[in-house]
Amino acid sequence: PAATILESSLGSSSLQGNSTSVNESALTEYNKILNTQANLRDYLMTFTTDLVITTSNSIKLQSSSLAQITQSTNQLTRAALSIASNRCYQLSLALSSMATQIPYEDAQVAANQLMQC
């Protein structure tokens, strides 16, 4: 079973001996999953540095991807955070330089997504 639920009165001091081992194994499994997801986010983040920033659509696409990848902050490593921060900065500079040449709605969408990453 995934979990064991024990019921006892407030004054009771008896505990089931295997509840600690169940908790430890659940924590170990949780950490394993967390590390796997962090490694996957690291792997995905490496691809963002190779993408070219050409149009407002590329800024929207990249900022949306970065916002989704960085959404779960407990699954990010320092390396992934550094890459994301640098890339969001580059996208912000590119958006700033073309803001007067693109539709307001495109600039607004890209800016909102950049705020999330």
pLDDT tens by residue, 100-113:
999 999 999 999 99
pLDDT at 84 over 90: yes
Is 35 within the bounds of a domain?
A: yes
Residue 53 within a domain: yes
- Looking at residue 117, what is its pLDDT? 86
Task: Write down the pLDDT at residue 19.
Answer: 65
pLDDT tens per residue across span 5-59: 555 555 555 555 566 777 888 899 999 999 999 999 999 999 998 999 999 999 9
Residue 59 covered by a domain: yes
In a domain, 83, yes or no: yes
The model's pTM is 0.75
| Inside any domain, residue 3 | no
Number of structural domains in the chain: 1
Give residue 78's domain range: 19-116
Q: Distance of alpha carbon 94 from its chain centroid, rounded?
A: 23
Residues 6+ apart with CB under 8 A from 99: 107
Residue 42 contacts residue 84 (beta carbons within 8 Å): no
For residue 77, the number of C-alpha atoms closer than 13 Å in the C-beta half-sphere is 15
Residue 70 and residue 76 in contact, taking contact as beta carbons nearer than 8 Å: yes
